[in-house]
Amino acid sequence: MREPMARYPSLAERVVFVTGGGGGIGAALVEAFHHQGASVAFVDIDDAASQALCRNLEAQTGRAPCYHHCDIRDISALQAVIDEVSERQGPIRTLINNAANDDRHDWRQVSVDYWDERMSLNLRPMFFSSQAVAERMAQAGGGSIINFGSISVRLALGNLPTYVTAKAAVHGLTRSLARDLGEQSIRVNTVVPGCIMTERQLDKWIGPEDEARIREHQCLKVRLAPEHVAPMVLFLAADDSAQLTGQEFCVDAGWG
């Protein structure tokens, strides 16, 4: 990843926690914050990719982010990791709720168990991670919570109704928490990525014809990559965006 275009002095040594930081957009965020001099911790379930990311960043900078294996569907485990990070690295001042899974599914075949499992991955951890960091974040002087939505809501995409439903709820959560936490100087915003060409998307869903069609609909004829999302997240985490909360920010090249 290229060095970030802007540097934010307020992010130096700030404790940042990222869910799903081992690959895709999450890995780009871990790398971007690491290069800002932040103290980055992240969770994922892909040990190989996450450990490789840590080794690569350590080779570049002489220090590594802190990786914890955690399935975020297990709220107790997620809270335990947040507590450990807070005690070892200091209060989390930036929480990035990035992790999600957009596996396709037919609405006719969705069972109650499948519905609940998808919500336990794509929505529930955002609330409980925010709950877990809020008190220490407030005591430290405030901070920034950044939730990830999806362009699938704006485009009314089919074949993934549980994912679209969860992602539609994300901004409601953002708005509500922005109101509840604002008095403690905690800002809460939503980032909505467009069609980001991660390895997973290209392997599973997007072929050359799909990519050409997507680019045709975008105002900017570019191939969106994970590193294009990182600058927006850096800005929302930094003190430079201190008056922004309860908002939704799209990084979609003008598709949605």
- Please give the pLDDT value at position 205: 67
Helix (H) or strand (E) holding 186: strand 186-193
Distance CA(194)–CA(209), nearest Å, equals 17
Within-domain flag for 4: no
Predicted confidence (pLDDT) at residue 102 exceeds the cutoff of 90: no
User: What's the domain range around 62?
Assistant: 12-251
Higher pLDDT: 130 or 4? It is 130
Q: Which amino acid is at 213?
A: R
Q: Classify the phi-psi angles of 96: left when phi > 0, otherwise alpha if psi is within -120 to 50, otherwise beta.
A: beta
Tokens of 174: 């953002």
State yes or no: pLDDT of 204 exceeds 90.
no
Give domain status of residue 228, yes or no.
Answer: yes
> Given pLDDT bands bounded at 50, 70 and 90, which one contains residue 198?
confident
Name the one residue in this structure whose structure tokens are 């807070």: 86
Whole-number Å distance between alpha carbons of 102 and 99: 10
Orientation of helix 24-35 relative to helix 226-237, angle to 10°: 50
For residues 250-254, give the mean pLDDT. Answer: 94
CATH assignment at residue 213: 3.40.50.720
Do the bridges between strand 248-251 and strand 39-44 make them parallel or antiparallel, or are there none, so unpaired?
unpaired
Is 63 contained in some domain?
Answer: yes
Identify the sign of the CA torsion 236, 128, 153, 246.
negative
pLDDT for 239 equals 98
Across the range 98-123, mean pLDDT stands at: 95
Band of pLDDT at residue 134, cut at 50, 70 and 90: very high
Has residue 208 got a pLDDT over 90? no
Task: Determine, yes or no, domain membership for 3.
Answer: no
Q: What is the mean pLDDT of residues 133-147?
A: 98
Token pair belonging to 125: 């951890």
Q: What is the pLDDT of residue 147?
A: 98
User: Helix or strand or coil: residue 102?
Assistant: coil
Specify the pTM. 0.95
Three-class secondary structure of residue 96 per DSSP: strand
Are 254 and 222 spatial neighbours (Cβ–Cβ below 8 Å)? no
Nearest residue to 19 (alpha-carbon basis) of 248, 252, 233: 233
Compute the average pLDDT of residues 122-134: 98
| Domains: count for the chain | 1
Write down the pLDDT at residue 2.
Answer: 53
Residue 29, domain member (yes or no): yes
Smallest Cα–Cα separation from 70: which of 42, 92, 51, 94? 42
Active site residue 67: no
- Which tens digit of pLDDT belongs to each residue from 47-86? 999 999 999 999 999 999 999 999 999 999 999 999 999 9
| CB proximity list for 114: less than 8 A, separation 6 or greater | 105, 162
In the three-class reduction of DSSP (H, G, I as helix; E, B as strand; rest coil), residue 95 is classed as strand
Q: Does the pLDDT value for residue 235 go beyond 70? A: yes
Closest CA to 216 of 255, 251, 177: 255
Find the catalytic residue in 8, 67, 114, 163. Answer: 163
Q: Is residue 6 assigned to a domain? A: no
Residue 1 lies inside a defined structural domain of this protein? no
Q: Per the domain annotation, does 7 fall within a domain?
A: no
Is pLDDT at 1 greater than 70 in this prediction? no
Predicted local distance difference test score (pLDDT) of residue 140: 98
Share of residues in the chain with pLDDT > 90 (%):
83
